[in-house]
Amino acid sequence: MYYADEIIDFLQTNRILALKLDYALTDVNNALSAQRELIGKGASALCTTHY
Residue 34 confidence (pLDDT):
97
Residue 1 confidence (pLDDT):
73
The segments of the chain whose pLDDT lies below 50 read none
Residue 44 confidence (pLDDT):
86
Residue 50 confidence (pLDDT):
62
User: For the chain, where are the alpha helices, taking DSSP H only?
Assistant: 2-48
Residue type (1 letter), 23: Y
For residue 4, what is the DSSP state? H
Dihedral sign, Cα of residue 9, residue 12, residue 16, residue 18:
positive
The pTM is what? Answer: 0.65
CA distances from 27 to 10, 11, 22, 34, 36 (A): 26, 24, 9, 11, 14
Residue type (1 letter), 2: Y
Residue 28 confidence (pLDDT):
97
